[in-house]
């Protein structure tokens, strides 16, 4: 457990909790601790799905600019690689992930949310990638993940202007998946994650790999990725359990073992 980031596990759901008052700025220590929490969530068999959460007031208000202001190009070559790896550690978790966003998710905070599979936003949430207003661009995956999520034109509008996006507009353009009252968003994210507590873990992992990796290549290569992932599941106990249960009892009644 880190000083500012911890993994809390309950009923199959792991919450990666960012807690660096007051605005959860993502300094280098926080980045390291996010990577460690993501690695732990990946490795723990009792974690079936993950919620990324910044608390009731704010998700994360971006990178720690005070830490960056005196950095040189040579300094940033190394630091930017570490920054991207922090967010990629979340996207590489081979389990369902959802960001529960309250308050501000700006800059690096928005990039953390983009690294999850889904984004649930409080009705008071505000998103943005305002790096151009500081004379730079998003450096933690924002230009790439945002464009893949909402399309190049909408991504360019947000990145070029650096403007803030309220929850309602974020839902309209596809930046978030669902909007809830602020006092309900975390519970709703946990509720979504809990549905995977008894799921066929390797099937979920294969589906995530097929979708994520397939989206990076042409359709024929994507189909081959899907075929390989599909075939590999015939080596799991859960595939046998699931198919035998279907034949005997119909769909949705299998008791999977995660192997």
Q: How many Å apart are CA 204 and CA 88, to the nearest integer?
A: 19
pLDDT confidence tier of residue 97, bands split at 50, 70 and 90: very high
Predicted local confidence at residue 16, as pLDDT: 98
Q: What is the pTM of this model?
A: 0.94
Q: DSSP 3-state helix, strand, coil percentages of the chain (rounded to 5)?
A: 50, 15, 35
Domains and CATH numbers, the chain: 5-194 (3.90.226.10), 201-249 (1.10.12.10)
Predicted local confidence at residue 64, as pLDDT: 81
18-68 per-position pLDDT tens digit: 999 999 999 999 999 999 999 999 999 999 999 999 999 999 988 888 888
Instruction: Return the active site residues.
Output: 63, 108, 111, 131
**Omega of the bond leading into 244 within 30 degrees of 0 (cis):** no
Contact residues for 141 (Cβ-Cβ < 8 A; gap 6+): 84, 87, 88, 91, 111, 114, 115
Q: How many Å apart are CA 21 and CA 59, to the nearest integer?
A: 11
Helix H or strand E encompassing 54: none
Q: 121 phi and psi, to 5 degrees?
A: -115, 145
Contact residues for 206 (Cβ-Cβ < 8 A; gap 6+): 229, 230, 232, 233
Predicted local confidence at residue 65, as pLDDT: 87
Average pLDDT, the chain: 96
213-233 per-position pLDDT tens digit: 999 999 999 999 999 999 999
């Amino acid at each position: 457990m880190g000083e500012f980031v911890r993994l809390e596990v309950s009923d199959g759901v792991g919450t990666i909790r960012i807690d660096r008052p007051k605005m959860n700025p993502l300094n280098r220590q926080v980045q390291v601790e996010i990577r460690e929490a993501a690695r732990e969530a990946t490795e723990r068999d009792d974690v079936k799905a993950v919620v990324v959460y910044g608390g009731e007031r704010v998700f994360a208000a971006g990178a720690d600019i005070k830490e960056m202001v005196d950095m040189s190009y040579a300094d940033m070559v190394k630091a930017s690689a570490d920054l991207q790896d922090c967010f990629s550690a979340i996207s590489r978790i081979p389990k369902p992930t959802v960001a529960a966003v309250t308050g501000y998710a700006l800059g690096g905070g928005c990039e953390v949310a983009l690294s999850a599979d889904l984004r649930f936003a409080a009705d008071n949430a505000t998103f943005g990638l305002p790096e151009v207003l500081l004379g730079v661009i998003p450096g933690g995956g924002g230009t790439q993940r945002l464009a893949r999520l909402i399309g190049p034109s909408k991504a360019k509008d947000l990145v070029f202007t650096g403007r803030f996006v309220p929850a309602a507009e974020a839902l309209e353009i596809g930046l978030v998946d669902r909007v809830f009252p602020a006092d309900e968003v975390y519970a709703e994210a946990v509720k979504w994650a809990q549905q995977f507590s008894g799921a066929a873990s390797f099937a979920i992992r294969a589906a995530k790999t097929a979708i994520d990796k397939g989206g990076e290549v042409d359709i024929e290569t994507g189909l081959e990725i899907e075929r390989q992932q599909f075939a590999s599941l015939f080596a799991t106990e859960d595939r046998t359990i699931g198919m035998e249960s279907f034949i005997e009892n119909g769909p949705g009644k299998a008791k999977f073992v995660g192997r």
